[in-house]
Amino acid sequence: MTVPSKDDLLLEVKNLGVRFAVKRNGFFGGKSFLHAVDDISFDLARGKTLAIVGESGSGKTTAALAVGRLVAAHKGEVQMDGKDFLALSDEDLRIARGKVQFIFQDPYSSLNPRLRAKAVVREPLDSLTEKTEDEKQEIIDQLFAAVGLRKEQQELFPHQFSGGQRQRIGIARALATEPELIICDEPVSALDVAVQAQILNLLRRLQEERGLSFLFISHDLGVVQHMCDTVAVMYMGRIVEYADRKSLFNSPKHPYTKALLSAVPSVKKRGAPTTERIAIDGDPPDPVDLPPGCRFASRCPLADVSCQKSEPELTAMSDTHTVACHFAQAD
């Protein structure tokens, strides 16, 4: 992989932070904040896929929602086409929203049960574009064909579809405004394995045909490995490792990434692979009251005194691989 030049970049996220106020110390206690996403930066090139991985509670979904302005960021920039998406308002924002669309995890609750399939796909066209009725219908017809649904299925309601078909409707809806960026939040984790493959193949085909960029959130490392071009690994709101696909999976540097990869059960590892598995047993720290130093130190097999004192910065190991660990070494 080569470093993409400035012109190829669709998205540049700089120092993004999202915090939630939490009540502590009873009624008169001060407010404290939970930093769900804490000062993260990444870029996404046009036509490529960036995957964010991590366990539940790592902040991966919040980060993606903040990029699409579905939760408010308290700091940072999301540069898209030379404009800060987070600073837009009114009409500029409405137009820009058409360029950023979502595919959600749960195909059951993310479609309005009272709307026919064609109305679901039509909604973003109504609210984000100025197309005529005929143009809208043409787009809907063409999208149904593109995601592999039949024309007569446009008249059905969501409950008449299977999970995989519903996710196809969700994808058609996301494509309706011809977006450049699609944020896929665990798009296949609610689906059966056989249907998962159909949806993943569809997403990759659409990406190729339409030059889409994906911000892909998943906890399934097999799926991430198949879909991504670059990967950001998040832990407790921070990016701990950020690299291109091949170097992340072939030579992971952060002990957390290594532990994640070794935890995936595989058809290749028969019997109990306890010897090669990196156990991370301890508990993660309290997210509201983070200790100084590395957030992973309490569970890290390598941690020593220095890790409890100073927090490691993201450091470049190569052009396309950065890691936040005191012990990381370049190849």
What are the residues binding another protein (CB under 8 A)? Answer: 55-56, 162, 164, 192-198, 200-201, 204-205, 219, 221-223, 225-227, 245-246, 249-250, 259-274, 277, 279-281, 283
Residue 121: CB minimum distance to another protein, A: 21
Burial classification of residue 127, based on how many CB atoms lie within 10 Å of its CB (0-12 exposed, 13-18 middle, 19 or more buried)? exposed
Q: Which amino acid is at 166?
A: R
Of 175 and 227, CB closest to another protein:
227
> What's the CA gap between 33 and 36, in Å, rounded?
9
Helix/strand/coil percent split, the chain, to 5 = 35, 25, 40
Nearer to another protein, 83 or 246 (CB): 246
Strand-strand pairing, 31-45 and 238-244: unpaired
| Closest CB to another protein among residues 8, 220 | 220
| CB closer to another protein, 21 vs 193 | 193
Cα–Cα–Cα angle for 66, 9, 41, rounded to 5 degrees: 40
CB of 205 to another protein, least distance (A): 8
Interaxial angle between packed helices 117-128 and 90-97, expressed in degrees from 0 to 180 and rounded to the nearest 10: 140
Q: At residue 217, what are phi and psi to the nearest 5 degrees?
A: -100, 130
Nearer to another protein, 23 or 246 (CB): 246
Q: What is the DSSP letter of 236?
A: T
Cβ of residue 221: shortest distance to another protein, in angstroms?
6
CB of 24 to another protein, least distance (A): 17
In the DSSP assignment, the letter for residue 227 is: H
**Residue with Cβ nearer another protein (130 or 281):** 281
**CA-CA-CA-CA torsion for 189, 194, 195, 197, nearest 10 degrees?**
80
203, two tokens: 């997403």
**Nearer CB in complex with another protein: 82/265:** 265
**Minimum distance of another protein from residue 292's CB (angstroms):** 23
**What strand order describes the sheet that includes 213-217?**
100-103, 181-185, 213-217, 49-53, 230-235, 238-244, 321-323, 315-318
Nearest distance, CB of residue 281 and another protein, angstroms: 7
Cα separation, 330 vs 253, whole angstroms: 8
Least CB distance to another protein at residue 57 (A)? 9
Find the shortest distance in angstroms from Cβ 114 to another protein.
Answer: 24
- CB atoms near residue 91 (< 10 Å): 8
CB of 86 to another protein, least distance (A): 30
- C-beta of 87 vs 263, nearer to another protein: 263
State which residue, 31 or 270, has the beta carbon closest to another protein. Answer: 270
- Residue 327's alpha-carbon distances to 58, 290, 317, in angstroms, are 22, 21, 12
